[in-house]
Amino acid sequence: MRIGKLPNNSATLDNPANSSYKILAVDDEVGIIDSLSIFLKRSGYSFTGVTNPLDAIEKIKNEHFDILLLDFIMTPLHGDQVVEEIRKFNKELYILLLTGHKDLAPPLDTIRRLDIQGYCEKSDKFDQLLLLIESGIKSVSQMREITKMNKKLSETYQKLEQSYLESIQTIRYTVEAKDNYTRGHSDRVSEYSVLLGKKLCMSEDDLHKLKIGGLFHDVGKIGVPDIVLQKESKLTDEEYSEIKKHPTIGANILCNATIFQDIIPIVKYHHEKFDGTGYPDGLSGNDIPYLARIAAIADSFDAMTSRRVYRNSLSIDQVINEFKKCKGSQFDPEIVDAFLDILNHNYNSILEIQEKYK
């Protein structure tokens, strides 16, 4: 079938605006590829033509193209089979299918399933094909702009996220300056939480939440009076009541920033106990957010292994006995078992974290 009579439309010729768009044509008839090459290059497009559909698949894997013009009836693969392969690794390519006869076009369901944007019959004129290509270029252009906008928005969001993180870090460092015990504590809790999360086969997203949640779990201590934080003797009931406010204060500090929404449960509930006797809300069992139950164990471990004014740090044997004793009352039993396994079989990873934040 002949296809190649150029449209008498000078407006389409030598259009420099088209030069940034790359078109790949695939047809097993060399004459059609030659005709398309003349037509599309005169229209200003960057054109590549191939006669072997297998070569086309490899080109698309290794090069960027904006539009694919694809013959339907070819050997060794038909056009729909070519698209089937392409869609396995490229979902964005704009594809126009060329058919020798209308009754040889693939079913509409196939066109929809493979996300083929359009098709037309081969003709000795290019008018219909030209309109479809111009429509495709408009769609590709719009997608380019959307991609640019999304990239700018992503960069802006990342800068905003970094700004928020730096602001909360400043508060965290202020807390550490007020409370000697807190210095290094949040970093260790963060790393212990991630270590335990990995042991529990948590997703990368949850591990990230554990890392950030651990860093900021005590940020609410900024609202606790210095005289309470720095007291070297046992706290009175009233002073302990002040300390117990810090999870809620921390959650309130973070609540207005979208980027911190996922870690608020860790910040607010890391002092809840499995039997419901913790604070601030007295949650119990599975009502306590899972990541908060992990952070609670990491937080308690660091508290037990840190030297305080009123006591020395506990030995590892004492710590293990304490976790066994509080399993099911203060701590989630399954998470305790996972942490005890780390202490018994992978204690070097704990020592590395402790050495890092001495």
Mean pLDDT of 207-231: 89
Task: For residue 221, indicate whether it is catalytic.
Answer: yes
User: Which of 64-68, 131-135, 289-293 is least confident?
Assistant: 131-135
pLDDT, residue 174, reads 80
pLDDT in tens, 236-275: 899 899 999 999 999 998 887 778 899 999 999 999 999 9
Pair (138, 204) in one structural domain: no
Residue 5 domain-assigned (yes or no): no
Task: Return the DSSP state at 221.
Answer: G
Residue 156 domain-assigned (yes or no): no
Q: What share of the chain is helix, strand, coil (3-state, %, to 5)?
A: 60, 10, 30
Mean pLDDT of 224-247: 86
Question: 123, 147, 171 — which closes off a domain?
Answer: 147
Pair (138, 175) in one structural domain: no
For 128, the token pair is 């219909």
How far is it, in rounded angstroms, from Cα 24 to Cα 136? 13
Pair (127, 183) in one structural domain: no
Nearest by Cα to 185 from 354, 336, 311, 320 = 354
How far is it, in rounded angstroms, from Cα 67 to Cα 342? 54
Q: In this model, does residue 294 exceed pLDDT 80?
A: yes
Domain span including residue 129: 10-147
Type of residue numbered 161: E
Pair (125, 174) in one structural domain: no
Residue 190 domain-assigned (yes or no): yes
pLDDT, residue 101, reads 67
Mean pLDDT of 60-68: 94
Nearest by Cα to 128 from 118, 115, 141 = 118
Band of pLDDT at residue 11, cut at 50, 70 and 90: very low
How far is it, in rounded angstroms, from Cα 75 to Cα 26? 11
pLDDT, residue 68, reads 95
Pair (76, 40) in one structural domain: yes
- Which range among 131-140, 146-155, 169-178 has the greatest average pLDDT? 131-140
Q: In this model, does residue 306 exceed pLDDT 90?
A: no
Pair (309, 183) in one structural domain: yes
Pair (198, 299) in one structural domain: yes
| Longest CA span, the chain | 96
Task: Return the DSSP state at 269.
Answer: H
What is the average pLDDT score of the chain?
A: 87
CATH of the domain at 127: 3.40.50.2300
User: Which of 63-77, 93-107, 333-347 is least confident?
Assistant: 93-107
Phi-psi group of 44: left, alpha or beta (phi > 0 → left; psi -120 to 50 → alpha; rest → beta):
left
pLDDT, residue 10, reads 40
Domain count, the chain: 2
CATH of the domain at 169: 1.10.3210.10
pLDDT, residue 160, reads 77
User: Which of 104-108, 202-206, 294-298 is least confident?
Assistant: 104-108
Residue 322 C-beta-side C-alpha neighbours within 13 Å: 15
Catalytic residue among 122, 209, 221, 273: 221
Residue 204 domain-assigned (yes or no): yes
- Tell the residue number behind the tokens 């005709």, with chain if given: 35
pLDDT, residue 9, reads 45
Residue 299 domain-assigned (yes or no): yes
Pair (310, 253) in one structural domain: yes
- Indicate the helix (H) or strand (E) that contains 335: helix 333-345
Residue 155 domain-assigned (yes or no): no
Pair (140, 225) in one structural domain: no
Q: Which residues lie closer than 8 Å to 261 by C-beta, 6 or more apart?
A: 255
Pair (241, 283) in one structural domain: yes
pLDDT > 90 fraction of the chain, expressed in percent and rounded: 51
pLDDT, residue 16, reads 57
Q: In this model, does residue 17 exceed pLDDT 80?
A: no
